[in-house]
């Protein structure tokens, strides 16, 4: 039995009632595991695992347009699990703003409510 250091748990839409799919980083801090947890169960059954390095290499190959990489079996689940888990790690590390974003602010400097060079900040 492996423990997940950081994990993301979502409903398994294809499974039975209460089934959950779990993706997380194992204690070795190098391996992401995707597992299925039946409704009411505490332990999950591993479906597949891969190293973070493998996911990074696959991501780079896909971004570059490598046709073989784009046909990798399970590509969507590998990349989805990677994004979900690494987002959780980055969020916990404080890499993102906390709270809701103002709908007027998409994070770009030109979206910010600030005075331009020719404007009076009091306007």
> Does the structure show a pLDDT above 90 at 51?
yes
pTM of the model: 0.71
Whether residue 35 contacts residue 22, with contact meaning beta carbons closer than 8 Å, is answered with: yes
Q: What is the distance between the alpha carbons of residues 78 and 86, in angstroms, rounded to a whole number?
A: 12
Whether residue 26 is contained in a domain is answered as yes
Number of domains present in the structure of the chain: 1
Q: pLDDT digits over 8-38, tens only?
A: 999 988 877 889 999 999 999 999 999 999 8
On whether residue 37 sits in a domain, the answer given is yes
Name the DSSP letter for residue 101: P
Tens of pLDDT, residues 69-111: 999 999 999 999 999 999 988 888 888 776 543 444 444 344 3
Indicate if the alpha-carbon torsion angle 38, 44, 47, 50 is positive or negative: positive
**Residue 112 within any structural domain of the chain:** no
Residue 9 falls inside a structural domain? yes
* Structural domain span for residue 32: 4-92
């Amino acid at each position: 039995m492996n423990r997940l250091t950081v994990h993301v748990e979502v409903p398994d839409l294809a499974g039975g009632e209460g089934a959950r799919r779990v993706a997380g980083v194992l204690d070795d801090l190098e391996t992401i595991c995707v597992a299925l947890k039946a409704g009411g169960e505490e332990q999950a059954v591993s479906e597949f695992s891969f190293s973070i390095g493998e996911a990074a290499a696959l991501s780079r190959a896909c971004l570059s347009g490598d046709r073989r990489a784009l046909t990798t079996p399970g590509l969507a689940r590998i990349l989805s699990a990677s994004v979900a888990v690494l987002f959780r790690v980055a969020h916990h590390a404080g890499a993102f703003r906390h709270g809701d974003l103002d709908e007027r602010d998409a994070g770009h400097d030109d979206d910010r409510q600030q005075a331009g060079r020719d404007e009076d900040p009091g306007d």
